[in-house]
């Protein structure tokens, strides 16, 4: 049967053979994409290293470094230290009301713990790395 198909194919004009080959390749590419793209999307979502949410395990602290000083009730900027070396710059304010009222200033380079996020602004406290258990 396959030999008959090949013999019939070889009797076609050259331009019909080329069109038939292109049509078969097109169908194969479409089928591969339809089957593999959803699989790739699922694998990417499962293995993605990017930050999905600030809601982390309660024992895990999300650490950042101040890149623009934060003082009192004014906004500064924090770069998130995400596994894999990714740096994400975000707007930040002091979390504790008493620190804002006392006009506390976190200088550039200070390590901070991100406590929460509201309306795209991170609320931070100064990191106390001495009390962090290994």
State the pLDDT at residue 80.
83
State the pLDDT at residue 88.
74
**Residue 39 pLDDT level (bands cut at 50, 70, 90):** confident
**Residue 55 pLDDT level (bands cut at 50, 70, 90):** very low
3-state per-residue secondary structure call for the chain: CHHHHHHHHHCCCHHHHHHHHHHHHHHHHHHHHHHHHHHHHHHHHHHCCCCCCCCCCCCCCEEEEEEECEECCCCEEEEEEECCCEEEEEEEEECCHHHHHCCCEECCCCEEEEEEEECCEEEEEECCHHHCCC
Check pLDDT > 60 for residue 100. yes
**Residue 29 pLDDT level (bands cut at 50, 70, 90):** very high
Check pLDDT > 80 for residue 54. no
Average of per-residue pLDDT across 40-55: 65
């Amino acid at each position: 049967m396959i030999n008959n198909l090949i013999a019939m194919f070889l009797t076609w004009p050259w331009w019909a053979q080329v069109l038939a080959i292109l049509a078969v390749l097109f169908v194969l590419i479409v089928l591969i994409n339809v089957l593999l793209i959803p699989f790739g999307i699922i694998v990417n979502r499962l293995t993605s290293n990017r930050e999905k949410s600030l809601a982390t395990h309660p024992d895990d602290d999300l650490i950042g470094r101040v890149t623009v000083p934060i003082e009192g009730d004014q906004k500064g900027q924090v770069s998130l230290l995400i596994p894999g070396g990714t740096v994400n710059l975000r707007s930040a304010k002091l979390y504790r009301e008493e620190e804002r009222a006392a006009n506390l200033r976190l200088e550039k380079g200070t390590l901070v713990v991100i406590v929460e996020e509201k309306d795209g602004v991170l609320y931070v406290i100064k990191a106390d790395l001495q009390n962090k258990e290994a």
